[in-house]
């Protein structure tokens, strides 16, 4: 195992018996502990290979880089945790983690539900982009079997998104994942889909039928409430008949309530979020773009960017496009520009190598290595990031740029901006401006002596 020693060092500080939950995102190994007072955060930060340690409630986020999945796999093996390679390893439920703040628990829940879905959403988005590129070179393929098959593959993660969200939500709330799939199946059944906009008589009340195919909020809320009801019913059910009657009675009693109240509420809540984002960006335009592009790195540093992932996913599913993803993109390119600008001024060979490496990863859409190993250390590149990101963000919203597919916000995601009019050209202009401004500001301001003393 390549990261065996690193895993052992982490476990020497965060004892196995103190771990409640382990999962990872794009660059961070996230460990939820029962007792945070026992953790020496400074010792964790000194482990070779860990760029930074962020604490959010009982969760310790170890910033590692793009190879975090390999670290996660080795860590689970060394710790003796079963690893299903989903990106989430729930070890044991405990009372201490329930005492976390509502904000921390909310973010942890979102991470647990949506992070496992990112690989397939990115794959689907990139496949759709690949089809667009094929058609640019040969328009005669538009009705071909090749395009039909590839489009079907690319559409699958988004078309069946409620099922996948039902699965991950059930897993997060510790009930059989098949219940989550069944709830999604009920909401997306032909009966309700075909009667969308109408009502279905059910005993004393009418159940409103909606098309839930483009919304994930109804499934999430329904599975969460179902999980609590199921655990209660299962706890009072005699062992001999649990397997037969626990699920049956929960669906019989709870599902009509979910269909009558919870799912419709979730549908309107999700639609309201999407419309609110569209209204905000269309109303404030370039100002919203400048704030998104300029400040996104600070949101990433705090880990709060995970709260934006569901909003973007909902936008793609319901609207077919998103305004937030271009903000991530211009910010990532600004991080790359600022870090590379600093690289030419840094004299220390190790820091210079880290700056060039981090800047290159930023172009690919991975910014944490640059932010934690260079930009925060030298500080002045952060000014370049804000300036470049704000400039690029102002432009992309001035031009009305939209992202038409979910993908890692790096240079390889450019095909997802092929759409109406000059959308792609305007996005490229915004990215170039973001990179150049960030590079120049960082290059001018960065001095090797400005580096902060390392711990």
The reply to whether 243 and 339 lie within a common domain is: no
Q: Are residues 293 and 441 in the same domain?
A: yes
Q: Considering the domain boundaries, does residue 131 fall inside one?
A: no
Q: Can you give the pLDDT at residue 453?
A: 41
Reported pTM: 0.71
In terms of DSSP H, where are the helices of 365-402?
368-370, 376-378, 380-398
Say yes or no: 305 and 372 in one domain: yes
Would 51 be classed as within a structural domain? yes
Residue that terminates a domain, selected from 241, 260, 277:
277
Helix axes 177-187, 161-172, angle to 10 degrees: 140
228 with 317, same domain: the answer is no
Give tens-digit pLDDT for 104-132.
Answer: 677 778 778 887 887 888 888 888 878 88
pLDDT in tens, 367-406: 878 887 788 888 899 999 999 999 999 999 999 999 998 8
Please give the pLDDT value at position 83: 64
Residues 299 and 446 in one domain: yes
Position 94 scores a pLDDT of 47
Domain assignment present for 344: yes
73 by Cβ neighbours in 10 Å (0-12 / 13-18 / 19+) ranks as middle
Same domain for 354 and 244: no
Cβ-based neighbour number of residue 191 at 10 Å: 10
Is 299 part of a structural domain of the chain?
yes
Domain final residue pick, 65, 83, 98: 98
Both 290 and 417 in one domain: the answer is yes
Q: Does any domain span residue 123?
A: no
Is residue 130 in some structural domain?
Answer: no
Q: Give the integer Cα–Cα distance in Å for 390 and 292.
A: 7
Distance, in Å, from the CA atom of 310 to the CA atom of 270, rounded to the nearest integer, reads: 10
Q: In this structure, are 336 and 430 located in the same domain?
A: yes
Q: Are residues 368 and 445 in the same domain?
A: yes
**pLDDT (tens place) for every residue of the chain, 455 residues total:** 789 999 999 999 998 888 988 888 777 888 988 888 889 988 998 999 898 888 877 888 898 887 888 999 999 999 888 765 555 554 444 444 455 566 667 777 877 888 788 788 888 888 887 888 888 788 788 788 888 999 899 888 888 889 999 999 999 998 999 999 999 999 988 877 777 667 777 777 778 777 788 778 899 999 999 999 999 999 999 989 998 999 999 999 999 889 888 988 988 887 787 778 778 888 888 999 999 999 888 887 766 676 777 788 878 877 888 889 999 999 999 999 999 999 999 988 878 888 998 899 899 888 878 887 788 888 899 999 999 999 999 999 999 999 998 888 999 889 889 888 899 999 999 999 999 999 999 999 988 754 444 43
State how far the Cα of 57 lies from the Cα of 390, in Å rounded to an integer: 31
For 49: left if phi > 0, alpha if psi spans -120 to 50, otherwise beta; the answer is: left
For position 37, which CATH number holds? 3.30.1360.60
Same domain, 400 and 334: yes
Q: Which domain holds residue 20?
A: 4-98
- 259 part of a folded domain: yes
Residues 245 and 201 in one domain: yes
Last residue of a domain, one of 254, 277, 300: 277
pLDDT score for 303? 65
Sign of CA dihedral 415, 417, 423, 427: negative
- In the chain, how many domains are there? 3
Per the document, the length of the chain is 455
Q: Does a structural domain hold residue 425?
A: yes
- Two tokens at 55? 């604490």
Indicate whether 291 and 273 sit together in one domain. Answer: no
Write out the catalytic residue numbers: 25
Q: At which residue do the structure tokens 């997306």 appear?
A: 188
**3-state SS, residue 63:** strand
Distance from chain centroid for Cα 253: 34
In DSSP notation, 233-286 reads HHHHS-GGGHHHHHHHHHHHHHHHHIIIIIHHHHHHHHHHHHHHHHHHHHHHTH
């Amino acid at each position: 195992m390549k990261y065996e020693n690193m895993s052992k060092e982490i476990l020497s500080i965060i004892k196995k018996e103190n771990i409640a939950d382990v999962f990872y995102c794009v660059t961070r190994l996230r460990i939820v502990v029962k007792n945070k007072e026992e953790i020496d955060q400074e010792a964790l930060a000194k482990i070779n290979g860990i760029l930074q340690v962020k604490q959010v409630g009982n969760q310790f986020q170890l910033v590692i880089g793009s190879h975090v999945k390999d670290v996660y796999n080795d860590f689970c093996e060394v710790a003796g945790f079963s690893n299903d390679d989903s990106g989430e390893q729930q070890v044991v439920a405990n009372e201490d983690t329930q005492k976390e703040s509502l904000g921390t628990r909310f973010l942890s829940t979102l991470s647990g539900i949506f992070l496992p879905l990112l690989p397939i959403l990115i794959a689907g988005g990139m496949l759709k982009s690949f089809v667009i590129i094929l058609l640019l070179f040969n328009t005669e393929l538009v009705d071909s079997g090749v395009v039909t098959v590839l489009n079907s593959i690319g559409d699958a993660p988004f078309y069946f998104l409620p099922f996948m969200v039902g699965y991950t939500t059930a897993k997060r709330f510790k009930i059989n994942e098949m219940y989550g799939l069944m709830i999604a199946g009920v909401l997306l059944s032909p009966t309700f889909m075909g009667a969308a906009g109408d009502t279905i008589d059910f005993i004393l009340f009418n159940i409103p039928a909606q098309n839930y195919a483009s919304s994930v909020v109804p499934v999430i809320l329904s599975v969460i409430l179902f999980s609590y009801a199921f655990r209660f019913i299962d706890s009072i059910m005699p062992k001999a008949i649990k397997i037969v009657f626990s699920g049956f009675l929960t669906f019989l009693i709870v599902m009509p309530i979910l269909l009558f109240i919870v799912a419709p509420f979730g549908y309107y809540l999700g639609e309201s979020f999407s419309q609110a984002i569209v209204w905000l960006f269309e109303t404030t335009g370039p100002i919203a773009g400048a704030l998104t592009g300029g400040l996104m790195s600070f949101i990433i540093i705090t880990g709060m960017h995970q709260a934006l992932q569901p909003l973007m996913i909902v936008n793609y599913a319901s609207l077919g496009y998103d305004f937030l993803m271009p903000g991530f993109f211009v910010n990532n390119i600004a991080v790359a520009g600022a870090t590379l600008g600093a690289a030419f001024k840094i004299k220390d060979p190790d820091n210079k190598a880290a700056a060039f490496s981090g800047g290159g990863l930023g172009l690919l859409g991975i910014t944490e290595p640059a932010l934690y190993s260079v930009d925060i250390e030298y500080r002045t590149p952060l000014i370049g990031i804000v300036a470049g990101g704000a400039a690029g963000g102002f432009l992309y919203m001035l031009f009305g740029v939209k992202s038409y597919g979910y993908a890692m916000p790096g240079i390889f995601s450019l095909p997802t901006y092929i759409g109406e009019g000059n959308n792609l050209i305007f996005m490229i202009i915004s990215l170039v401006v973001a990179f150049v401004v960030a590079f120049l500001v960082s290059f001018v301001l960065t001095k090797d002596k400005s580096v902060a003393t390392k711990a």
